[in-house]
Amino acid sequence: MAVKRSWVLKQDAGDGKMKEISDHIYEGALAFLNAEYKLLTIFVIIASIALAIIAYIVPTTHMLIIVAFIFGAIFSALAGNMGMKIATKTNVRTTQAARSSLPKALKISFGGGTVMGLGVAGLAVLGLTVFFIVFFHYFMGGVWTNTMDMTVVLETLAGFSLGAESIALFARVGGGIYTKAADVGADLVGKVEAGIPEDDPRNPATIADNVGDNVGDVAGMGADLFGSYVATVLAAMVLGNYVLKDILASNPTFTDAFGGIGPILLPVVIAGFGILFSIIGTMLVKISSNDAKEAQVQSALNIGNWVSIIMVAVASYFLIDYMLPPTMNMEFYGEGAKEIASIRVFYAAIVGLVVGGVISSVTEYYTGLGKKPILAIVQKSSTGAGTNIIAGLATGMISTFPTILLFAGAIWASYAFAGFYGVALAASAMMATTAMQLAIDAFGPIADNAGGIAEMSELPNEVRTRTDILDSVGNTTAATGKGFAIASAALTSLALFAAYVTFTGIDGINIFRAPVLAMLFVGGMVPVVFSALAMNSVGKAAMDMVYEVRRQFKEIPGIMEGTGKPEYGKCVQISTKAALREMMLPGLLTIGFPIAIVLLGMLIYPDNNELVAEMLGGYMAGVTVSGVLWAVFQNNAGGAWDNAKKSFEAGVMINGEMTYKGSDAHKAAVTGDTVGDPFKDTSGPSMNILIKLTCLIGLVIAPILGEHEASEHGLATPSATVIEQPAVTGLEQREEVTIDRQIDADGNVIATVTVSTITEKETIKTTEEIFEGTPEEVNQKIAEFKENR
Amino acid sequence: MAVKRSWVLKQDAGDGKMKEISDHIYEGALAFLNAEYKLLTIFVIIASIALAIIAYIVPTTHMLIIVAFIFGAIFSALAGNMGMKIATKTNVRTTQAARSSLPKALKISFGGGTVMGLGVAGLAVLGLTVFFIVFFHYFMGGVWTNTMDMTVVLETLAGFSLGAESIALFARVGGGIYTKAADVGADLVGKVEAGIPEDDPRNPATIADNVGDNVGDVAGMGADLFGSYVATVLAAMVLGNYVLKDILASNPTFTDAFGGIGPILLPVVIAGFGILFSIIGTMLVKISSNDAKEAQVQSALNIGNWVSIIMVAVASYFLIDYMLPPTMNMEFYGEGAKEIASIRVFYAAIVGLVVGGVISSVTEYYTGLGKKPILAIVQKSSTGAGTNIIAGLATGMISTFPTILLFAGAIWASYAFAGFYGVALAASAMMATTAMQLAIDAFGPIADNAGGIAEMSELPNEVRTRTDILDSVGNTTAATGKGFAIASAALTSLALFAAYVTFTGIDGINIFRAPVLAMLFVGGMVPVVFSALAMNSVGKAAMDMVYEVRRQFKEIPGIMEGTGKPEYGKCVQISTKAALREMMLPGLLTIGFPIAIVLLGMLIYPDNNELVAEMLGGYMAGVTVSGVLWAVFQNNAGGAWDNAKKSFEAGVMINGEMTYKGSDAHKAAVTGDTVGDPFKDTSGPSMNILIKLTCLIGLVIAPILGEHEASEHGLATPSATVIEQPAVTGLEQREEVTIDRQIDADGNVIATVTVSTITEKETIKTTEEIFEGTPEEVNQKIAEFKENR
């Protein structure tokens, strides 16, 4: 990433005017992020206090979760910040390159995207790995003890994911509101009232509009996928822990080349390899001809993407073969334990990769230029905005049909192959190429910005034509990227949902219990209300922008003649303030509801934590089902309206007549696009975070409701049993080391290490030693004890 | 009903032109219904064959279900037909009355609505009662035997409900498409292209438009509520049967003043009393002043409504006290059996009545003229159609918040009071005033039609002013009526859902099983796709209408000058044809999906009927949750747009300026209303039927998946045990009569009647007799045997 970054930054950043505009965008974006981070610091402090309370009450939740949470939040912010910095530096360099050559412009803009993709994926794997290693050593002394201990490790690690996803919520929602408020506001006054073109430097909101592309599509998307990535891998690790439990149930002496934790490490390793393959994939994205059209650019991206996907598939086969035992004993809910071959886990991973690929095609079909649904919307535009809107809504709604059948099939199939571990592995495999996906995604807004800079700097038309080609491809990848994001969010949520059920130790979630069913309804409602709030926020923020632009047009002399300089900064400020203000309520809704349900449930059923856990589970399921539906509906309807409008640029045939921009039908299509804007860029993409965060909050709350064995003993960490390899004669006689850890009020550990020899007939306790001290000291002593034996 | 009907028909039907127009509407409506019934006859035949196959395969499903199904279909058609006939006769009489007096116009239009309401409710109670009595005697010889026998009785009775709901599906969807195709088509050419006002006699589509009000709002709504009414009472009876089972489990000698089936009869009795109270309520609807405004008319309706609701509440108290034992043993899922007082069933009923009342207020708030949400939409209209649409969508979406919380609370509370029997009783109590609700609902389209006739007959303005007052109130009652309909559908579906679970004998529906979760997703998707299909259908059918009207304007000379006569019939035909064609696909979707899931499930899991039953249950839950959400969203968004548009008629204050009809803001509001039309009159209301029919199909399929005790014995009907009253010394010694029925291939019954004397210590078999013959003969013989003993 650093290599690519320094290469990009070394490129020519163009001359005076271009650089000035680019700097405005850079500063505006940073100003937003800084204001956002200030606000989020307060949120992180409040959330940390809440976590501290949970950790204080619940014996199995350790205070370290707060550290993990804070680092998750910081990493997520860092990922967004880094991506945005490089994107805002790359835009002007792309413009400069486009003055001479299209291939170079692609190389630079995609290079910027690659930096972001690798940064996000790298930070995710780094953060997860480091914290896993730290917690693994802290709680288990770096060796496998038992399922319960590992549960504590992973529960603490969930804090990292929670931190990442919380920041993602605000980045996505805030960024989404920002970008559309600036866009709609700039259009309403600029295009409609003043009659000046898009990206015209006389429009005071134009810088804010370009900043919006970065904070929404780059930083927001980056934080979103960072969150998905972390959550997916975490969920797969949690479920891997339960796979291990099932394996040990039938084979207590099980171990492997990874100290017995192969199933837990597998998802991280796949993620790590995915980054390598993404790098190879990004290297393949290039075009040679300066006269290339959209199709060539798109196919260059496709080649890179497919190569990295296929490499992940191949690598998964070998990794699964290497890291998992050939057959595993796996518990299928309601069907009992089954002996399954590890190849079935590979099949599940393939399901994930297929979903990732197919969802792009489905999205492409419903939102792509020249496709049947778009043509139908174009035709309906001839009878007015009303029929255009109905057609767009209907297209978005119908697009849920193949999408949901695909998801439902994927859930079913990957579960049938390898239980919920299979579902999580499907998600992990799909997410493995996140770096590549993000590179493809982030290159779009960079190209869009590059075009804006060309327009504002009044560069020759050919420059704009070249950036327009990149921008147009970027629009398609933005739509398919949203498909990928929601698919990953859906599978991630299900994996988290499964992890939640196993964490709480409930028997499943029975919607025939009325309180659970009631919460299913409530959960179904939340994404709808969340979307409405986000849409209304865009409307309010856009109106703020309209008033400011009107004021500047009136008060600054010579602004329309190009002699007066608009106050770009004021507009950036207004968008920033509005976005931060408006993201509060949706955020509160997301975080508040699960907590309210648990509190209400515990109040009404004080002795029935199991029912409360099921209620929360019903809520999670409701949010997930409804959230996925509304995400698909809104993303695809928005994308369809957008491209229906774009169709008029090249001209469309309506009732036998060629119709162009400026016609009544085009105006109707513009109205549709106005409705679609918040759909596809604000409320639609927010659904991803809503469903993931809901399930993560559930996971973090789970220990309160769960009935871990440990909590029965009142221990801070539960008893831990290390079973070492059979010592002398195969299975007939083996040695067992039991380590029982208790943590006192000061955080010191009292560990009782017992060594026993077990034969078929009897168990003979040979040694018992007690160690006391800080966790680190005790681990050290145990290690010494083992060495000396 | 007959009295009111003959009174309405005796009223003055006006002079030549008015009568002619009214006749056109009457004939158009009948033409549609006849064409529809022809098509539905084919459907009923196919469905009957499908039921025959089920009955042949499944031992516990009896062939008589086909008879019940056909009668259900006929009754539903009859209810719609009757309502429409009276509505199309009343419209012109209302116009005539409005020439002289507003109070009289209200009396007549509401009288027409009353005829319809009483007809629908009367047919429902009549059909259910007669078939229950017939099946009760056929299968059980008219005396309580045991739970299993009663299950067979109620399963067969479910056929009646299935027939009613199937017809309702097509009536609602077909009617909804018809009315909006005609409305939108007439507006697009008439108002927009030709510039002539609404209801102008020169517009060929104007009769079709008025016919549409009748087939959609009258016949469609009638069939919808007829279906809800029957399904609710049926579901309550099914759950009453299980209440009885629980009671008998703790007290095997239980009986009451109703032969031991009080809990089963209670819902029917409440429904019957509800009709009486509705009659009283309708008598109170009157105004005295000729200068009354909307508020007075509305409050006259409210008084009638509330009086009937309060009377139902009071009666419920006494009925529940009289018909249920003072305390009952009731099984709560996962919580074991509890001893509950029968007063808690009354509380559950009150929950239902409260929901019915509150839902109207909530709907009124989000869609009512002058309320905050409507004013906000009006303000947003000033910046164009785009912002108007966003505001309307957001309003519909946000309105799900209080509505879903209300439903969720109602489910939870009524279940907490008295289990799922409580939920069903809540629905029954709410539905008890269906006759009154329908009267209020149906009066709206009658007044609308009356206004249309006044316009078309070119009567003085004051007539139109009077009918407009009624029409305006009718619009409000239409919106609140939709709230009532969806609330009833939601509760009914949950009651059916509960009945389904008990019928199949599964342990609940666990969404932690991946196939079940996958079906929850699929179920969530179906209402969305259904809505899209319905919306697209309206678009297509409206375009057909547009082309026809354009053709007539071009080809018929003098049509615009009023000298040429438009071919109204052609337009009616086109609407009819389009509606019937377009209702096929949504219908197929509704009926096909549950069947496909069961077939697929049985194919994949041939030995695990329980899992297949849970999958279907997951699907049902998905459809219900998503369907309720989309119904509320679409109904309220549509209603809000409609009234935002209407607000301009009296003038609205936007940014300090009074704005009227014809302004740009008004045009934006008209666009919103165009989008809202199919929302509120086609796809939104169809959701009710979709969710109810889905759950009913599940209920009818249930026996295939269920594991009834009987099927283990391979009996056509299960063993039946009649326990008679203790004969000699209290509980110490009692006599038991056991009747074991088997049905052979020819449908003949072999009944073994055993009489035993049971003391605490022993059971002595005193008599055993075997009777053979047709069911009727055997019942006769058993009755004789009992008499002679």
Other C-beta atoms lying within 10 Å of the C-beta of residue B86: 25
DSSP letters along B327-340, please?
Answer: EEEEEETTTEEEEE
Most A CBs within 10 Å, among B191, B379, B512, to test the A interface = B512
Strand partners, B722: B737
pLDDT band, residue B723 (cuts 50/70/90): very low
Most A CBs within 10 Å, among B395, B502, B511, to test the A interface = B511
Nearest residue in B to A398, CA atom: B529
Higher pLDDT, B728 or A563: A563
One-letter amino acid for residue A753 of the chain = V
Q: Name the residue among B389, B515, B625 with its Cβ closest to that of A389.
A: B389
Which residues, other chains included, contact A454 with Cβ-Cβ below 8 Å and sequence gap of 6+?
A95, A98, A463, A464, A467
Q: What mean pLDDT, rounded, does chain B reach?
A: 85
One-letter amino acid for residue A733 of the chain = Q
pLDDT band, residue B507 (cuts 50/70/90): confident
Q: Where are the alpha helices (DSSP H) in A505-513?
A: none
Nearest residue in A to B641, CA atom: A386
One-letter amino acid for residue B679 of the chain = F
Distance from CA of B182 to the nearest CA of A (A): 15
Residue B2, Cβ density class (10 Å: 0-12 exposed, 13-18 middle, ≥19 buried): exposed
Coil vs helix vs strand at A129: helix
pLDDT recorded at residue B520: 95
For residues A485 and A228, give the distance between their C-alpha atoms in angstroms, rounded to a whole number. 8
B-contacting residues of A 232-251, CB under 8 Å?
none
One-letter amino acid for residue A657 of the chain = E
Distance from CA of B352 to the nearest CA of A (A): 15
What are the b/e assignments for B569-608, b being 16+ CB within 10 Å? ebbbbbbbebbbbbbbbbbebbbebbeebbeebbeeeeeb
pLDDT band, residue B712 (cuts 50/70/90): very low
User: Which residues in chain B have Cβ-Cβ distances shorter than 8 Å to A527?
Assistant: none
Residues of chain A scoring pLDDT < 50: 708-730
Q: Which of A475-484, B111-120, B516-525 has the lowest mean pLDDT?
A: A475-484
**Residue B665: pLDDT over 80:** yes
**Residue B36: pLDDT over 80:** yes
Count Cα atoms within 13 angstroms, Cβ side, for A559: 22
Q: Is B676 on the interface with A (CB under 8 A)?
A: no
Q: Are A689 and A624 in contact (CB under 8 A)?
A: no
- Say what the pTM is: 0.86
The domains of chain A are located at 2-507+514-522+541-711, 724-788
Nearest residue in A to B417, CA atom: A514
Q: Do B535 and A390 touch (CB under 8 A)?
A: yes
Q: Where are the alpha helices (DSSP H) in B505-513?
A: none
For residues A139 and B127, give the distance between their C-alpha atoms in angstroms, rounded to a whole number. 69
Give the closest residue to B127 by CA, choosing from B61, B215, B29, B226. Answer: B226
B-contacting residues of A 173-192, CB under 8 Å?
188, 192
- Structure tokens that stand for B171 in this block: 């009536």
Strands B657-659 and A657-659: unpaired
What's the whole-number mean pLDDT along residues B472-501? 86
Q: Do A513 and B508 touch (CB under 8 A)?
A: yes
Nearest residue in A to B408, CA atom: A518
What's the whole-number mean pLDDT along residues B147-164? 89
pLDDT band, residue B742 (cuts 50/70/90): low
Q: Are B515 and B615 in contact (CB under 8 A)?
A: yes
**Residue B718: pLDDT over 90:** no
Percent of chain B with pLDDT over 90: 33
Strands B652-654 and B336-341: unpaired
- Structure tokens that stand for B443 in this block: 């009066």
For residues A720 and A307, give the distance between their C-alpha atoms in angstroms, rounded to a whole number. 44
As a whole number of Å, the end-to-end CA separation of chain B is 46
Q: Are B430 and B356 in contact (CB under 8 A)?
A: yes
Distance from CA of B402 to the nearest CA of A (A): 10
Q: Is B298 on the interface with A (CB under 8 A)?
A: no
Nearest residue in B to A610, CA atom: B334
Coil vs helix vs strand at B757: strand
pLDDT in tens, B566-624: 888 888 888 888 888 888 899 889 999 999 999 999 999 888 888 899 999 999 999 99
Which residues, other chains included, contact B537 with Cβ-Cβ below 8 Å and sequence gap of 6+?
B177, B181, B578, B582, B583, B585, B586, B682
Strands A336-341 and A652-654: unpaired
Give the closest residue to B682 by CA, choosing from B132, B97, B171. Answer: B171
Nearest residue in A to B673, CA atom: A386
**Helix B147-186 and helix B664-678: axis angle, to 10°?**
150
Q: Is A501 on the interface with B (CB under 8 A)?
A: yes
Distance from CA of A13 to the nearest CA of B (A): 39
pLDDT recorded at residue A569: 83
For residues A73 and A226, give the distance between their C-alpha atoms in angstroms, rounded to a whole number. 11
Q: Do A394 and B518 touch (CB under 8 A)?
A: no
pLDDT recorded at residue A635: 93
Phi/psi at B661 (5° precision): -55, 145
A373 membership: H or E segment, kind and range: helix A372-380
pLDDT in tens, B129-151: 999 999 999 988 888 888 888 88
Distance from CA of B197 to the nearest CA of A (A): 19
Q: Do A398 and B532 touch (CB under 8 A)?
A: yes
Give whole-number Cα distances, A330 to A244, A246, A319, A344, B610, in Å. 9, 6, 19, 12, 21
Q: Is B748 on the interface with A (CB under 8 A)?
A: no
Q: Is B136 on the interface with A (CB under 8 A)?
A: no
- Structure tokens that stand for A97 in this block: 């390159």
- Structure tokens that stand for A505 in this block: 């130790």
- Structure tokens that stand for A382 in this block: 């001839």
Q: Do A398 and B671 touch (CB under 8 A)?
A: no
Alpha-carbon radius of gyration of chain B: 27
- Structure tokens that stand for A358 in this block: 């197919």
As a whole number of Å, the end-to-end CA separation of chain A is 47
User: Which residues in chain A have Cβ-Cβ distances shorter than 8 Å to B682?
Assistant: none
For residues A230 and A164, give the distance between their C-alpha atoms in angstroms, rounded to a whole number. 8
Give the closest residue to B269 by CA, choosing from B467, B129, B465. Answer: B129
Distance of CA B61 to the CA centre of its chain: 25
**Residue B551: pLDDT over 90:** no
Other C-beta atoms lying within 10 Å of the C-beta of residue A606: 9
**Residue B630: pLDDT over 90:** yes
User: Which residues in chain B have Cβ-Cβ distances shorter than 8 Å to A667?
Assistant: none
Give the closest residue to B222 by CA, choosing from B359, B72, B119. Answer: B119
Q: Where are the alpha helices (DSSP H) in A58-101?
A: 64-98
Break chain B down into helix, strand, coil percent, rounded to 5. Answer: 75, 5, 15
pLDDT recorded at residue B734: 60
Higher pLDDT, A736 or B646: B646
Q: Are B216 and B178 in contact (CB under 8 A)?
A: yes
Which residues, other chains included, contact A527 with Cβ-Cβ below 8 Å and sequence gap of 6+?
A623, A626, A627, A629, A630, A631, A687, A690, A691
Q: Do A501 and B494 touch (CB under 8 A)?
A: no
Distance from CA of B743 to the nearest CA of A (A): 34
Q: Is A600 on the interface with B (CB under 8 A)?
A: no
Q: Do B405 and A628 touch (CB under 8 A)?
A: no
Nearest residue in B to A641, CA atom: B386
pLDDT recorded at residue A265: 93
Distance from CA of A689 to the nearest CA of B (A): 18
A-contacting residues of B 366-395, CB under 8 Å?
380, 383-387, 389-391, 393-395
- Structure tokens that stand for B421 in this block: 């029997």
Helices and strands of chain A, counted as H and E runs: 23, 8
Q: Do A529 and B398 touch (CB under 8 A)?
A: yes
Q: Is A547 on the interface with B (CB under 8 A)?
A: no
Q: Do A524 and B404 touch (CB under 8 A)?
A: yes
Q: Are A191 and A198 in contact (CB under 8 A)?
A: yes
Strands B657-659 and B719-723: unpaired
Q: Are A105 and A94 in contact (CB under 8 A)?
A: yes
